[in-house]
């Protein structure tokens, strides 16, 4: 049997709704930890708002209007602002 002909086994795992939620939560937690931008030069929304002297609500509004560049690792994930972009704002 050649490499491309190897058969793979599919494993079916049955989880309760709570077990599935916990598993997804852990996977997302690990993903977010491993996929955050380098901390140097990047700020989370609280830090960016304080740095700019504005509220988090205002910062969110500005981000939605695409007036400030930012990075978000995934929908619903943490938004990161670069100090360089904040300085232009």
> Is residue 6, in this structure, part of any structural domain at all?
no
> Is residue 43, in this structure, part of any structural domain at all?
yes
Instruction: Print the domain residue range for 54.
Output: 17-88
Domain holding 67: CATH number? Answer: 1.10.1660
pLDDT band of 12, cuts 50, 70, 90: confident
Number of structural domains in the chain: 1
40 in Cβ contact with 83 (< 8 Å):
no
Residue 13 in this model has a pLDDT that exceeds 90: no
Q: Which of 47, 54, 52 is nearest to 78 (CA)?
A: 47
> Is residue 50, in this structure, part of any structural domain at all?
yes
> Is residue 49, in this structure, part of any structural domain at all?
yes
Q: Which of 30-34, 59-63, 69-73, 85-89 has the highest mean pLDDT?
A: 59-63
pLDDT of residue 67: 78
pLDDT band of 36, cuts 50, 70, 90: low
Residue 45 in this model has a pLDDT that exceeds 80: yes
Report helix, strand or coil for 81. strand
22 in Cβ contact with 62 (< 8 Å):
no
């Amino acid at each position: 049997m050649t490499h491309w002909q190897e058969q793979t086994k599919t494993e079916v795992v049955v989880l309760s709704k709570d077990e599935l939620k916990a598993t997804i939560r852990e996977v997302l937690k690990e993903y977010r930890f491993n996929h955050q931008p380098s901390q140097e030069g990047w700020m989370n929304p609280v830090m960016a708002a304080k740095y700019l002297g504005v509220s988090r609500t205002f910062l969110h509004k500005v981000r939605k209007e695409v007036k400030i560049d930012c990075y978000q690792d995934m929908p619903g994930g943490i938004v990161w602002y670069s100090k360089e972009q904040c300085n232009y704002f």
